[in-house]
Chains A and B, each alone.
Chain A
Amino acid sequence: MSKEKSQQHEKETAQTIFDDNDSALYAGRNYINRELSWLEFNSRVLEEAQDKKNMLLERTKFLAIVSSNLDEFFMVRVASLKDQVHVGHSKHDISGMSPAEQLKRISLRVHNMVYEQYNCYKRSIIPALRKEGVTFYEIGELNEKQLAYIEDIFENEFFPVLTPMAVDKSRPFPLILNKSLNIAVLLENQSYESGYIFATVQVPSILDRVIALPGEEDSFVLLEEVIEHFIDRLFRGHNILCTSMYRITRNADLSIDEEGAEDLLSAIEKSIKKRKWGAAIRLEVDYKCDERLLDILKDELELRNEDIYYINGELDLTFLMKFNNRLGERFSYMRNEILAPVTPVDLVGYEDVFEAVSEKDILLHHPYESFNYVIDFVKRAASDPSVLAIKQTLYRVSGNSPIVKALAEAAENGKQVTVLLELKARFDEENNINWAKQLEQSGCHVIYGLAGLKTHCKMTLIVRKEEEGIKRYVHLGTGNYNDITARLYTDMGVLTSNPYIAADTAAIFNMLSGYSQLDMLYKMEVAPAGLRRKFIQLIKNETSNARNGKQAAIIAKMNSLVDDEIINTLYDASQAGVDIQLIVRGICCLRPGVKGLSENINVISIVDRFLEHSRIYYFYNDGNEQIYLSSADWMYRNMDRRVEVAFPIEDDSLIERIKDAFDIMLQDTVKARILGPDGSYKHVDKRGKRTIQSQLYLYEKIKEQIESRKEKA
């Protein structure tokens, strides 16, 4: 071989070796599939339902959450995978799975999960409730008086609202509503070759699922069983061969053609109407369902065997949520003790929020610290004569939201109120349209955000004319302005009058409202413009510090970790020796603890009474620690398709508080699970460790801090 040739050869070999290395590092096996990872999260929720150490009604609630989570998962995620298969799209995800493979794995995992869920429901929850005097009867168990009662309500209350529908030559298969509970009926009919026809009755969703029985306290029967019991009265003159409960889930992802949608509001209104018509994705049926019924359903709904879930028990356990609340105070002993939200530590000793915020930055850690102070912030602004203007983003608001009320009031008081309402918050669109109209009527300037991007950031800006001139107050948070979820989700927020943050917030509002293009920001980072780049730069900074022999560490808490560019940057950081602690509640596509890849990365997930929701990002930065709070997870959608912000925490006492909170979470031995290299989650090995349930511990700690601040004052 000539010298030249050998060099050429060397080059080529080097190239292939390099390629191999490269693909090895980022091979599919180094990532966890996001759908399967999500299912593991739901399985952790199920664990909470199974955990006998939890209060009985809390367990019941978790059981309902498992169901409603799965509903949404099928309507959105599974639906989208099915769409991909349908159009012949076979692009593999980062873990190397095709859409079809993913569907198969999902089906297997969910079948297993549903089996466990109902096992828990029938063998554990129902008997335990019965022990506490709460009994669900089957019709066969009822006494005469009770039977007479249900017959009476069937005839007088249910019968008028029931619509039986038969399928024959002249009547096509009816539209079965998404998530509705239905009874399938097989009617004898000799004029057909098969000898039968199909009929169906929807169990009306306007009626309560749970019916209280007379004569015995806390005894109940389910609505659908009553209807099924008297089903012959709906088909008089027909011979009923068999019946079965069934429920279907449809593709419900809204895809709006925004391009050319002159009026986003009306486009969304139309699209909500269309949602009913999405393709069927999943069929749940009673496990005793007759083959003939099943075949008809399968054919009509165009479903495959893997899409069918046979349920041994009541379909749709989401009813347990409402039922739980209905049980009332008497059963409080079966619920968690309420951790009443307290006055925020940083506001101890202040009468007026504005006064406090003009002196220092305020950290709010919800739900431990009360969200009412954020509402109060807006309320006070609404009636404060020196306030000139209020701007706020709203993503998901609660029914009867006090924030919406305060904003409307402010507008009526002659203040300039700008509300950035995100209409596209999934499954909330209908709700949002109502708020939009209400706000507009009271004189608020309502804007619907940027086409193609969801406004996910949570910001409030209040402009006040004070003695010394204009002063602007800002609230920035990791969670929505929703007073209901603020009691159930852990979130962090900051109140500040820092002029740089205020200027940035104003600039972002101007961008969102289309008043101005975004140029330079002083402190904050915005997605999709530069948030991912910023995070990557922060991670890379740790990597290069570690390479230079300096201490380097990252602690990041989020709901989901999916973005592969960030994951790869974290793998590189791990390789450089950066100590990486991740607290990821839900999906985590990063595979931790793999030698030569991620041995310096530790991932935990905390699933407890409050839904972990805060997004906090900490970087050691060679001792000059940097902390960002953000509305964004490390997911594509947050980085590319939403308007998100990250804002730095600069006040030393706030930094300390957040670091303390991180310490506590990382020490959780009760509700934390550790993600293993194999993608499974295991409880923490408690041996030799102090028992810490971080959510309870944080609450106690905050109460202590309040006491000590009070003493100081």
Chain B
Amino acid sequence: MGTTKSEVLAAIDVGSNTIRMKVVEVKSNGKLSVLEDLRQTINLGRDTFSMGIIETETVQRACDILKDYRRIMKEYKIKTYKAVSTSAVREAENRDYILDQIKIKTGLDIEVINNAQERFLTYKGISDKLSDYAKQRKEGLLIVDIGSGGVEVSLYNNGHLNFTENIKVGSLRLREILYDLERKTLNFPEIMEAFVESKVYILKPIIERYDIKHFIGLGGEVKVIAGLCGSKGDDIITITKASLEELYDKLRTMTTHNIIQYYRIAPERAEVLLPSVIVFRKFLEATGAESILSPMVSLRDGLITDMADSKLRSKRHSEFVRDILSSARCLAKRYDYDEAHAGHVEWMALEIFDNTTGLHGMGEKEKFYLQMAAILHDIGKYISLNNHSINSYNIILNSNIIGLSEKDLRLIANIVKYHSEENPGIHDENYRVLYYKERLLVSKLCAILKLADSMDISHKQSIRKLDTIIDEDLIVRVLAERDITLEQWTFENKAEFFYEVFGVRPIIKKKVR
């Protein structure tokens, strides 16, 4: 048998109510074909959300399920898999023990991911479902994802992610907030509408600035809405604007009780139906799209796409890295950063990074951290000019940046924290808790960032060109249009830390024209 280029991948999602696994074959032409899709109900979430920990018995049962999945993986001789768990395990106090038990009993490594990663992975899955996804992103696309906690809105134009925003009107949250209201007023739908309106009004004018032709709706309710609108499609559901309006008109005169009776849907679905319809409707109005497209993507699909991209389809992978960078810039913009300065620092930092690979020995992933840190390093100034790097650190740690794990955020935040006056040291808890290798990474990257930042300390982008020679020292030769005394002076100060980390002293030399 000849070697084949196709590969079978497995994606496991340890969720709050179910553990699922999808087995997919990536053909040599990059196309995916689903081989198995498994689902087992287990209430990990109930344990976590009510007791704070997952009970040993429940963990045991989870292990049994995963052992079964392991057997299926063996059947296809699967070498590449990704297993993730979301909030149920993430928020369990005993999560470390759980993960260890799973590892020992099943041999599976489970990665705990956060909401932003989950969403990012789900978006990734879309690209394998929608054949003209790239085209849509070029022509203007709004993605509205209704989660239980919040609604994530992302806008693409000219092929790039322009912004992504999380508004706190998720289905579960709405239910919690408005539960009491329904019994108190007959005008519940109107109140609901006003409430949703109050949450989305900030975004509406921004969206209306763009010419959006396409609309993608995601989230658990889409399927229900599609069903009630009589929409067709297995893999991709299309809900027309007209049918959504029609449904909305019907729903607004009904109580939750009516909805359950009339549409024969589960009470917990019925409760969130109207808010979901309102959210979709509000956003759809702001665009020029004629219908909501909903590819049936799951976290598992995203995991599969992620694996397939990084193993077999590197071009697509870099597209997604670009998306993360754009969303970081969106975030920075929201904190009113000096775009020109950040861009300049980003350029110089990357120049130094690329020219000193022999010195630091780091790769793509670390370069990405550096780039993110460069973009975000000054956002804390929005709060206060004093101690701005600590503010930047806090903002980053508490932000949801699409596609980034908590670890990613922690590392980037640490790099940013030390870009200015302070140097990293064991005396700081945030630095001390990092693994040895992570500490090294932070120090190295922050040494580079310090240099880059120093070279635009006056925010005037005076340096036009930059190259480096590594000899005994690291000679940074720059071409500047103006006087850069301040930059030179700061550089020399910051060079001290670089020398400490790398054992090579950076020296700035202004080239004479």
Contact = CB atoms under 8 A, between A and B. Distances in A.
Interface of A: 385-386, 388-389, 416, 418, 445, 463, 465-470, 472, 499, 503, 506-507, 510, 513-517, 519
Interface stretch (B37-45, B274-282, B323-331, B500-508): B37-45
A465 B71 contact: no
Given A389-B76, A515-B65, 15 more contacts: A388-B75, A388-B77, A389-B75, A465-B1, A469-B4, A470-B25, A470-B35, A470-B76, A503-B34, A503-B35, A506-B35, A506-B36, A507-B37, A516-B39, A517-B40
- Dominant SS among interface residues on chain B: mixed
A463 B65 CA distance: 22
Interface string B34-76: 1111111100000000000000000000000100110110111
In this complex, which of B2, B6, B40, B72 has the most chain A Cβ atoms within 10 angstroms of its Cβ? Answer: B72
Contacts of A385: 1
A354 B136 CA distance: 43
B76 A463 contact: yes
Given A388-B77, A389-B75, A445-B71, A468 B6 contact: yes
A470 B39 contact: no
Interface in B2-49: 2, 4, 6, 8, 25, 27-28, 33-41
B68 A514 contact: yes
Nearest 7 pairs between A and B by C-beta?
Answer: A516-B38, A389-B75, A469-B6, A416-B75, A515-B68, A470-B25, A517-B39
B2 A467 contact: yes
Nearest to A415: B75
A468 B36 CA distance: 18
Contacts of B40: 515-517
B1 A467 contact: yes
A519 B39 contact: yes
Contacts of B68: 513-515
Contacts of B1: 385-386, 465, 467
Contact of B76 (A388, A514, A519): A388
A470 B75 contact: no
Contact of A416 (B8, B36, B71): B71
A513 B37 CA distance: 14
A507 B72 CA distance: 12
B36 A467 contact: no
A292 to B, nearest CB: 63
A93 B99 CA distance: 57
Contacts of B28: 468-469
A472 B34 CA distance: 12
A133 to B, nearest CB: 60
23 contacts: A388-B76, A416-B71, A416-B75, A463-B75, A465-B4, A467-B1, A467-B2, A467-B4, A468-B6, A468-B27, A469-B6, A470-B76, A472-B35, A499-B33, A510-B38, A510-B72, A513-B68, A515-B38, A515-B69, A515-B72, A517-B39, A517-B41, A519-B37
Contacts of B35: 470, 472, 503, 506
A392 to B, nearest CB: 13
Contacts of B37: 507, 516, 519
A484 B227 CA distance: 50
Given A388-B75, A416-B74, A463-B75, A510 B36 contact: yes
A470 B36 contact: no
Q: Which of the listed residues A388, A466, A469, A506 has the most CB atoms from chain B within 10 Å of its own CB? A: A469
Nearest to B40: A516
A391 to B, nearest CB: 8
A385 to B, nearest CB: 7
Contacts of B33: 469, 499
Nearest to B38: A516
Contacts of B69: 515
Nearest to A518: B39
